[in-house]
Amino acid sequence: MDLNFSPQEIAFRDEVRAFLKEHLPAPMRDHTRRGEGRHVREDVLGWQRILYARGWGAPAWPVEFGGTGWSKTQQYLFETECAQAFAPMQLAFGLKMVAPVLMRYGSPEQQKRFLPPIIEGRDWWCQGYSEPGAGSDLASLKTRADREGDEYVVNGDKAWNTLGQYADWIFCLVRTDKNAKAQRGISFLLIDMKTPGITVRPTRLLDGSLEVNEIRFENVRVPVSHRIGEENDGWTYAKYLLGHERTNIAALGNCKRELGRLKEMARSLERRGRPLIEDPVFSTRVAEVELDLVALEITNLRVIFAEEKQKAPGPEASILKIRGTEIQQRISELQMEAIGARALVADADADQGAREANVPRALDAYLNLRKVTIYGGSNEIQRNIIAKTILKL
């Protein structure tokens, strides 16, 4: 496997860099750099519209659905460059999670109705999988959808819903046959968040943010036409979606960006009268995490080559999820160690040392990243998947 980029791929990377330099609005870049959550919706949808106008709104979508037709390597280069330029995220819930399910399992009518608003930056999607009593053991979910003519009546609660306060739509797993075997009694519904009976309750996290929510459904009526595929076959579609989600959680571009910021910190901050990067213990730990990141990138490229052959992500997605999330946490821990007690400053922009190190809100980032080894299927569950599918245990 040749891990060197071709001249054409290098030219493409340079084109993306030039585009980002010219068209990424400075306020959006600065909000992302500082982690200012209050700008999330306007920045994410605004950036999506800028990319759509350029024809880059959906890097991974097929051309027939409005995508770019890029190779997997081009997609990887694009996402890495966007992350390192501090571009706002492209919303994975729509572009990378529900959209692939719609393309593979949705009806032509559903594809026509739901895909254009995603790529054009008009609809914000969120996910309704986990529940108060069903997280990693997702098949034990209890949110119920009872059929009444051409509608389902949905009742139940979803937990740990990310950014649902901004959402226009939610894709949900619901139980449509309580007597069937757990995985067989689940259906996949698309629900308008403006439907009467939906209540969004924010959950304040350790870092003080309101990033996740509990969502209650009380006699929420959903057209049967908003069900993906067949009734009670939702587990099949959920597994397909989770393979894409776990690959995304690895966040390789973000890891490379934050590693770069860590090195900047280590060069600009001092310990015992010399730059922190010259401390042999600290610099060794930075080198170790960088080597692990290089190994993760090679694994990611292997997944890319597999996807080029139309192979859906398998256990490799679990490996990416485990290592990617662990590396995110380790980099964050090293940033916290580097910045020291100044990380406790409520507004890091007011701290000259933190501003020079270019890592404001280090404590917020550290606390927020505690969750990445849990969501999308905890890392313990991913190790079980690897044991069963690769080691045959």
To the query of whether residue 258 is one of the catalytic residues in this protein, the response is no
pLDDT of residue 249: 66
* Residues recorded for the chain: 393
Give the per-residue pLDDT at 36. 72
* pLDDT over 90 percentage in the chain: 58
Q: Are 126 and 159 in contact (CB under 8 A)?
A: no
Q: Which amino acid is at 159?
A: A
Q: Write out the DSSP string of 233-252.
A: BHHHHHHHHHHHHHHHHT-H
DSSP string, 104-135: HHS-HHHHHHHHHHHHTT---EEEE--BTTBS
Distance (Å, whole) CA 321 – CA 382: 8
Q: Which strand (E) or helix (H) includes residue 296?
A: helix 280-308
pLDDT tens-digit profile of 69-99?
998 889 989 999 999 999 999 999 999 999 9
Which is more confidently placed, 336 or 224?
224
Domains of the chain: 7-90 (no CATH), 125-233 (2.40.110.10), 250-389 (1.20.140.10)
Classify strands 169-175 and 125-128 as parallel, antiparallel or unpaired. Answer: parallel
Q: Which SS3 state, helix, strand or coil, does residue 307 take? A: helix
- Does position 358 have pLDDT exceeding 70, yes or no? no
Q: Which of 81, 131, 245, 337 is catalytic?
A: 245
pLDDT at 376 over 90: no
Tell me the percentage of the chain whose pLDDT exceeds 70. Answer: 89
**Residue scoring higher pLDDT (91 or 246):** 91
